[in-house]
Copies of this chain bind each other. A is one copy, B any other.
Amino acid sequence: MTQTLESASTTTPQARVDAWLADFEAALATKDGQRVAGLFATDSFWRDLIAFTWNIKTVEGREGVADLVANTDAGASGFHTTAEPTEAGGIVDAWIAFETAVGRGKGHLRLNDDGAWTLLTTLDELKGFEENQGGTRPMGVEHGARKDRVTWKERRESEMDEREPYVVVVGGGQGGIALGARLRQLGVPHVVVDKRPRPGDQWRSRYKSLCLHDPVWYDHLPYLEFPKNWPVFAPKDKIGDWLEMYTRIMEITYWSSTTCRSASYDEAKKEWTVVLDRDGEDVVLHPKQLVLATGMSARPNLPSFPGQDVFTGEQHHSSQHPGPDAYKDKKVVVVGSNNSAFDICGALWEVGADVTMVQRSSTHIVKSDSLMDLGLGDLYSERAVASGVTHHVADMIFASLPYRIMHEFQIPVYAAIKERDQDFYDRLEKSGFRHDWGEDGSGLFMKYLRRGSGYYIDVGSAELVANGDVPVVQGQVDHLTEHAVVLADGTELPADLVVYATGYGSMNGWAAELISQDVADKVGKCWGLGSDTIKDPGPWEGEQRNMWKPTQQEALWFHGGNLHQSRHYSLYLALQLKARAEGIETPVYGLQEVHHKG
């Protein structure tokens, strides 16, 4: 370490990284946690995606590093750079690769004058179970002549009726589909079940004006990128088509029109019993692993108000909203002021409905253009791709930033957005809308990671509020009458339709519904970082709760999030499942504790 420090100013970034990696590898070999920790800066982070910990885990500081090293034994070696390191602002950046006893990994390293500031280690593939791609792609045809040949079609038909899957994935949206593709590619017998008739219906069934709020560069699925003529923000039916196509092309074993009724785990047999209704047929499967990919936005929070039973108009949760066509000239009250509320208000206004928004708490709004330019542009944009930052690279850069300090990188972005769109925010405020930038000013993405709500990516509807076309009313709903929504201050809002754009519950609610309340409580709240901000109570977790990693319930996994997360983290979840399917030892370091039930 001393040697590295002394030479920092005189040697090249390459030499510094090479020396650090050599020291690191030598120290790891001694299994001396303190010696490894000495190579890290006082303020430092080691984020590991299943390469060392068989967990998704960030340890902090030398103490955290020492603990990780003392309690893991990955047999890592062969650390080397995969591109020439660069230096800027006193930080050396390096892309690295390495092996463990059972796999091959990739990572990223940042050195400062004090040692390693951030280290990312990720498992990329398992030895002996490498994916068949490129030069190792399947032949397709079986050359030669053989009696009783089984054709591809016959094999697929048989696979589609898989009755002994190793994994059952409940939920066939983008998460279940991305994971299904990974499992198929890794040769893990699986069934992905979804209640809807076709893959992609998760999107098709939403309100008709819905488009993705994230741009195309952020949204690629594994193995098959969107083509260059794919729109920046895909309309919902188009992304539905893509998901349907992708499911077929990737040969995912996907059961449509299939509802999961219940699941229970036999701790002795280490096996699930999963009861399904497959298009009217009762099917019971006995997988070793169960993944809930039912969506972080799929369990509606439907609020209960006095008078909902006497209200004579129509009322539904935003997730059930059919779109605006039936509501021309109708009076509509939308309760809520986040993404769905705005999109629904906008679409209703467009057909000529008389819409009012009820804002119950402050909301963060960012204009889509500004978010694209200032928030995502360096990592996910045409500009990024042109400069060599493909989504593969961007995913790794993003993964290399520890959640503990991520807000520090976000705050200046939102300060710049505020400056750029000051006029818009001024007008919005004048309209009576309550706007915030997150508790620490870190804006949209931290809100997404912490609580998954509390924001709107403005694609136009915020302007309707700002200019008064859609009036916004502050307050809490007190009760409903036959024809109106009444707020706590007595304000009466006449309504033919009430839309509850009131958000979604934690994903462990799915465990309660499908398995048991006990299991739901045992695994606890999903999502969030423990940031001690609204809807994300402490203590600090360091990673998103329960996502893509072992939970307190053996053989139960949660998968979800946006397309970026479905793409990137499905790799680590799939490798964890594959390792278990093949009997590879997967000792979990630092299994998360549960502090909140939901």
With contacts A147-B350, A209-B151 known, is A137 near B249, CB below 8 A? no
Asked if residues B141 and A235 are in contact (CB atoms below 8 Å), the reply is: yes
In the complex, the chain B residue whose C-beta lies closest to that of A458 is B143
Asked if residues B463 and A137 are in contact (CB atoms below 8 Å), the reply is: no
Please give the count of copies of this chain that the complex contains.
Answer: 2
Asked if residues B235 and A145 are in contact (CB atoms below 8 Å), the reply is: no
**Distance of A234 Cα from B249 Cα, bound (Å):** 12
Any B CB within 8 A of the CB of A224: yes
Q: Which of A215-251 contact B (CB under 8 A)?
A: 216, 223-224, 227-235, 237-238, 241-242, 244-245, 248-250
Contact of A143 among B212, B227, B459 (CB under 8 A): B459
**Distance of A209 Cα from B148 Cα, bound (Å):** 11
Any B CB within 8 A of the CB of A134: yes
Any B CB within 8 A of the CB of A382: yes
**A210 vs chain B, min Cβ distance (A):** 9
Any B CB within 8 A of the CB of A516: no
Asked if residues B148 and A350 are in contact (CB atoms below 8 Å), the reply is: yes
Total A residues in contact with B, Cβ cutoff 8 Å: 65
**A254 vs chain B, min Cβ distance (A):** 13
Asked if residues A231 and B153 are in contact (CB atoms below 8 Å), the reply is: no
Q: Which of A335-356 contact B (CB under 8 A)?
A: 346-347, 349-352
In the complex, per-residue mask of A132-157: 1 if CB is within 8 Å of any chain B CB, else 0? 11110111111111111101110010
Any B CB within 8 A of the CB of A460: yes
**Distance of A242 Cα from B248 Cα, bound (Å):** 9
Q: What are the residues of chain B within 8 A of A368 when measuring CB–CB?
A: 143
Known pairs A138-B231, A140-B212, A223-B228; list 4 more (Cβ under 8 Å): A143-B368, A143-B460, A145-B350, A151-B235
**Distance of A152 Cα from B211 Cα, bound (Å):** 9
**Distance of A261 Cα from B394 Cα, bound (Å):** 53
In the complex, per-residue mask of A265-308: 1 if CB is within 8 Å of any chain B CB, else 0? 00000000000000000000000000000000000000000000
Any B CB within 8 A of the CB of A376: no
**A218 vs chain B, min Cβ distance (A):** 13
**15 CB < 8 A contacts A-B:** A135-B386, A137-B229, A137-B232, A138-B229, A139-B231, A140-B234, A143-B369, A144-B459, A144-B460, A145-B349, A149-B347, A153-B235, A156-B237, A223-B229, A245-B245
